[in-house]
C-alpha cells in the first residue's frame, strides 16, 4: 500500500446522501476475476446520465470525492472501494460512512475522512464556485483545505497510522516476519507439505 | 510454542496454542500460523491479483494446494467449459498457480475434486494442524482434530503472503453424542439433529468439539460429514479428537508422515484430546439411541425433524421471528403444515457434495439401491467427491450398480450442491439432497431442497417420496449385516 500524508487534487462535489455500495458498483460487475479495472463500473448507473457530475470535464482526473451523509452503506462488497480507487480517488469525504465500507477503505489505502456536515456544505460551496480547483487533504494535521477554507476531519488513530505508514494488514503482519520465520524453524517435520508431490500407492484406498 | 499450562485445556486450545506466532496485546489479535492452505477457483482470483499488485510472492507454495471444483462440469469434462464466467475463473486459477508455483489438480487429473475431499484423501489433513480455505465448509477437516475454518478473499491473500492470520480466540462448545446409532441412522442424521437443536446461529463464535461414544464409533468419513456442517450451526470450526480410527485412516496415505516422523506425529497426536476437567464455554447433549433418520422441511439447515414426523405448524412456534421464518419457508417449499413428511414426492435426488461424496457415502447409497429400479420420473444424480473416489467406486463396480438403478454417474465436483455449473434444479423442482444447504434457490432458482443422508436419499430414490431406509425392510437387513 502507498503511504499517504497529503493528497492535493481536484475535488468533486457529490451532493447526494445514502450512496449505497450497490450504487457505487452494481452487482453485475462482481463476476470479474480481477481486483483492478473497475473504473468503468464506478457509479455505473448514474454515469449513463451525461449531466452526472463525474461526466463534467472540469472534474476530470479528480482524486477527492466530497459526498453527502451515509456514504458506502449496504452490501459489504470490497469492490466498491476497488472501483473508487481504480477511478483515481484517494480520498472520500463524508459526514457519515457505512461501517463495512469504512473498514474496507482502510484496508485498501482509500482515505475515508469524516467531516462535520456543516463543513461539507462549506467545502461544496467553495469547490462549486470554481469547478476543478484543487483541494488539499492533510492526514498529518487531519485537515481539508480549499482556497481560504480549512476544516478538520476525524479518522481513528489506528487507521491513520496504517495509512501514514502505507501498511495494509499484510504489511503489518510482515513486520512480524522474524517471528514467523522463527516459528517456521521449529515446525515439526511430520507436519504436512504439499510439495514435492508424493504419489499415492495405487492399491486403492 | 507456549509452555504447557497447568490448566486443563481443550483440543481446540491446544491446537491454537501450538500455532501462536505472536500473542496479541491491548486488544490486538493473535497471529496464528497456517499449516495448510487449500485454494479453489472462485475465491482466489482477487487474492492473487492483490499479490501481483504489491509485488509479493506466495510465502509457502509448499503448504498450499489448489484444485478446481465449484465451477467444473460433471459431464464432458474433456471439452471446453461452455459457461464463459466459469471458464474464465478456471483459466485464471491455472495461470495463477503456474505463476506463483502452486500445486494444482485440474479437471481431468486423478487428484482433482472437491477441495475438502482432496485434502484428507492425500493425507495432507492431519491432527493438530491449522487448515484454511476460501470456503466455509473448510470445517470438514476438523474431523482429524485439526483447527480448520473458512476465510474471505482478503484473508486468502493474507495467508498466501504471510502463511499466518491475525485472529481473536474462539470460544469452545462440547457437543456430546452418547449412545449407539440404530441401523439406518448415520452421521448426517446426527449433525442435522445438532443443528435443529442449537439453531443456525447457535454455534456463532464457537469451535464445536464433537465428543462421546457415538462420535468415537464413527469412521473418518462419518466424522467429516459432521464437522463439514458445523458452519450451518453458525460455528466457524468443528473438531473431533484424534484416535486410532484417525491414525489408521492416515497411515500410508501419500502425504502422511513416514518412519520416525510418523512415530513422532502419533506421539504428539495422542496428547491432543481435551484434558480431563477441561472447561468448555458451552455444552450440548444428544442421545444417539433416540435418533431417527432426519430431514429438513424448510429453507435453512436448522429447520429439520425426524422423517417419521409431519410438516410442523408455524402457529405452534412461540418465537415470532422463527414463526415468521417457518411461514416463509413453507410457502417457498410449497408445503402444508401437518402433512406427513413421507408423503412428499420428489423430482430429483442428488447424491454428492463435500458433505457426503466420499467412498463410504457411495457404498451406503449403493447398498440400498443395488438390484432395484429408481422411481419413475425421478432424476437421480450421483456425483463423486473426487476423481479418485470415482476411480475407487468404479473399481468396486458401484458405477454399474448406479447405472442399473437408473442413476446418472458423473465426474467429480461441487455440482448441484450450489449449482454454479449446469447441474441445477428447474424452478419448482423438489430434491432430496445429501448436500449441506437448503437455502432458497441454492440448487437452482426456485428449486426446493430437503437435506438428507445418503441412506435416506437412496430410499427416496426408490420410492419417489421422502423415505427412510426403515421403509425398505430388506435393505435394513443388508446394512445391518455390513
Chain segment B124-171, per-residue pLDDT in tens: 999 999 999 998 899 999 999 999 998 878 889 999 999 999 988 899
Question: How many Cα atoms within 13 Å fall on the side-chain side of residue B201?
Answer: 1
| pLDDT at res. B1 | 40
Would the CB atoms of A35 and B22 count as touching at under 8 Å?
no
Strand partners, A138: A6, A143
- Select from B16, B18, B21 the residue whose CB has the most chain A CBs within 10 Å, as the one to mutate to test that interface: B21
Backbone angles phi, psi at A36, to 5 degrees: -125, 175
pLDDT range class, residue B4, cuts 50, 70, 90: low
DSSP single-letter state for residue B421 = S
Mean pLDDT (whole number) for A41-45: 93
Contact B72, B55 (CB under 8 A): no
Would the CB atoms of B21 and A194 count as touching at under 8 Å?
no
| pLDDT at res. A204 | 43
Is B173 strand, coil or helix? strand
User: Residue B366: is its pLDDT beyond 90?
Assistant: yes
Q: Annotated binding residues of B for [4Fe-4S] cluster, as ranges?
A: 354, 414, 417
Would the CB atoms of A107 and B46 count as touching at under 8 Å?
no
Contact B460, B340 (CB under 8 A): no
Q: What is the mean pLDDT of chain A?
A: 91
State pLDDT tens for residues B426-467: 999 999 999 999 988 889 889 999 999 999 999 999 999 999
Q: Which residues lie closer than 8 Å to A35 by C-beta, 6 or more apart?
A: A82, B45, B46, B49, B50, B53
State pLDDT tens for residues A47-85: 999 999 999 999 999 999 999 988 988 766 778 999 999
- At A122, which helix (H) or strand (E)? helix A117-129
- Select from A173, A178, A184 the residue whose CB has the most chain B CBs within 10 Å, as the one to mutate to test that interface: A173
Mean pLDDT (whole number) for B396-403: 98
Would the CB atoms of B264 and A194 count as touching at under 8 Å?
no
- Of the candidates B304, B432, B364, the residue with the CA atom closest to the CA atom of residue B184: B364
- Of the candidates B66, B70, B51, the residue with the CA atom closest to the CA atom of residue B136: B70
| pLDDT at res. B478 | 53
| More confident call, B322 vs A77 | B322
User: Residue A205: is its pLDDT beyond 50?
Assistant: no
| More confident call, B236 vs B386 | B386
Residues A35, A43: Cα–Cα separation, whole Å: 17
Q: What is the mean pLDDT of chain B?
A: 94
Pairing outcome for strands A149-152 and A143-146: antiparallel
Of A69-73, A153-157, B413-417, the range with the lowest mean pLDDT is A69-73
State pLDDT tens for residues B243-289: 999 999 999 999 999 999 999 999 999 999 999 999 999 999 999 99
State pLDDT tens for residues B80-92: 888 888 899 999 9
CA angle B211, B214, B216 (to 5 degrees): 65
pTM, rounded to two decimals? 0.85
Residue labelled with grid coordinates 446520465? A49
| pLDDT at res. A94 | 96
Amino acid at each position: 500500500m502507498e503511504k499517504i500524508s497529503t493528497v492535493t487534487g481536484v475535488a468533486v462535489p457529490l451532493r447526494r446522501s445514502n450512496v449505497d455500495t450497490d450504487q457505487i458498483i452494481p452487482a453485475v460487475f462482481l463476476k470479474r476475476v480481477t481486483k483492478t479495472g473497475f473504473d468503468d463500473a464506478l457509479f455505473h448507473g448514474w454515469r449513463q446520465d451525461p449531466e452526472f457530475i463525474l461526466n463534467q470535464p472540469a472534474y476530470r482526473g479528480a482524486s477527492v470525492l466530497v459526498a453527502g451523509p451515509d456514504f458506502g452503506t449496504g452490501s459489504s462488497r470490497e469492490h466498491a472501494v476497488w472501483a473508487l480507487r481504480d477511478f483515481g480517488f484517494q480520498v472520500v469525504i463524508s459526514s457519515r460512512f457505512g461501517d463495512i465500507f469504512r473498514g474496507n477503505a482502510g484496508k485498501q489505502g482509500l482515505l475515508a475522512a469524516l467531516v462535520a456536515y456543516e463543513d461539507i456544505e462549506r467545502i461544496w460551496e467553495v469547490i462549486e464556485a470554481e469547478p476543478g480547483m484543487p483541494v488539499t487533504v492533510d492526514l498529518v494535521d487531519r485537515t481539508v483545505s480549499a482556497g481560504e477554507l480549512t476544516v478538520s476531519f476525524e479518522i481513528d488513530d489506528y487507521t491513520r497510522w496504517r495509512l501514514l505508514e502505507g501498511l495494509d494488514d499484510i504489511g503489518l503482519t510482515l513486520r512480524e516476519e522474524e517471528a514467523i520465520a522463527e516459528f517456521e524453524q521449529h515446525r515439526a517435520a511430520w507436519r504436512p507439505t504439499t510439495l514435492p508431490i508424493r504419489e499415492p500407492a495405487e492399491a486403492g484406498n | 510454542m507456549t509452555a504447557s499450562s497447568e490448566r486443563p485445556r481443550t483440543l481446540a486450545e491446544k491446537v491454537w496454542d501450538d500455532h501462536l506466532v505472536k500473542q496479541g496485546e491491548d486488544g490486538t489479535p493473535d497471529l496464528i500460523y497456517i499449516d495448510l492452505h487449500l485454494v479453489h477457483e472462485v475465491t482466489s482470483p482477487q487474492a492473487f491479483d492483490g499479490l501481483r499488485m504489491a509485488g509479493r510472492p506466495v510465502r509457502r507454495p509448499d503448504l498450499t494446494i489448489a484444485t478446481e471444483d465449484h465451477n467444473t462440469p460433471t459431464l464432458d469434462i474433456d471439452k471446453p467449459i461452455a459457461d464463459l464466467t466459469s471458464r474464465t475463473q478456471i483459466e485464471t486459477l491455472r495461470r495463477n498457480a503456474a505463476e506463483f508455483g502452486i500445486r494444482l489438480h485440474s479437471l481431468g487429473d486423478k487428484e482433482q475434486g472437491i477441495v475438502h475431499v482432496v485434502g484428507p484423501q492425500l493425507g495432507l489433513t492431519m491432527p493438530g494442524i491449522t487448515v484454511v480455505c476460501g470456503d466455509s465448509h473448510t470445517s470438514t477437516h476438523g474431523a482429524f482434530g485439526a483447527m480448520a475454518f473458512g476465510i474471505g478473499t482478503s484473508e486468502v491473500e493474507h495467508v498466501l503472503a504471510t502463511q499466518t492470520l491475525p485472529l481473536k480466540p474462539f470460544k469452545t462448545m462440547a457437543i456430546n453424542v452418547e449412545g449407539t446409532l440404530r441401523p439406518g441412522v448415520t452421521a448426517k442424521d446426527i449433525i442435522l439433529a445438532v443443528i435443529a437443536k442449537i439453531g443456525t446461529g447457535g454455534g456463532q463464535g464457537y469451535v464445536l468439539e464433537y465428543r462421546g461414544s457415538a462420535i468415537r464409533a464413527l469412521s473418518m468419513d462419518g466424522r467429516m460429514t459432521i464437522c463439514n456442517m458445523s458452519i450451518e450451526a453458525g460455528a466457524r470450526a468443528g473438531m473431533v479428537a484424534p484416535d486410532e480410527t484417525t491414525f489408521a485412516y492416515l497411515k500410508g496415505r501419500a502425504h502422511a508422515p513416514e518412519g520416525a516422523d510418523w512415530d513422532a506425529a502419533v506421539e504428539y497426536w495422542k496428547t491432543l484430546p481435551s484434558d480431563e476437567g477441561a472447561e468448555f464455554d458451552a455444552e450440548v447433549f444428544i442421545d444417539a439411541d433416540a435418533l431417527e433418520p432426519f430431514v429438513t422441511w424448510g429453507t435453512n439447515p436448522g429447520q429439520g425433524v425426524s422423517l417419521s414426523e409431519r410438516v410442523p405448524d408455524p402457529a405452534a412456534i412461540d418465537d415470532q421471528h422463527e414463526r415468521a421464518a417457518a411461514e416463509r419457508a413453507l410457502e417457498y417449499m410449497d408445503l402444508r403444515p401437518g402433512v406427513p413428511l413421507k408423503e412428499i414426492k420428489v423430482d430429483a435426488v442428488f447424491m454428492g457434495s463435500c458433505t457426503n461424496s466420499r467412498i463410504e457415502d457411495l457404498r451406503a447409497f449403493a447398498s440400498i439401491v443395488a438390484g432395484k429400479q429408481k422411481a419413475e420420473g425421478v432424476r437421480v444424480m450421483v456425483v463423486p467427491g473426487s476423481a479418485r473416489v470415482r476411480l475407487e467406486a468404479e473399481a468396486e463396480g458401484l458405477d454399474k450398480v448406479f447405472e442399473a438403478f437408473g442413476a446418472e454417474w458423473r465426474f467429480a465436483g461441487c455440482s448441484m450442491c450450489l449449482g454454479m455449473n449446469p447441474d441445477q434444479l428447474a424452478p419448482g423442482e423438489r430434491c432430496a439432497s445429501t448436500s449441506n444447504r437448503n437455502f432458497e434457490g441454492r440448487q437452482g432458482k426456485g428449486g426446493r431442497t430437503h437435506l438428507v443422508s445418503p441412506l435416506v436419499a437412496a430410499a427416496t430414490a426408490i420410492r419417489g417420496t421422502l423415505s427412510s431406509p426403515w421403509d425398505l425392510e430388506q435393505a435394513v437387513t443388508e446394512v445391518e449385516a455390513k
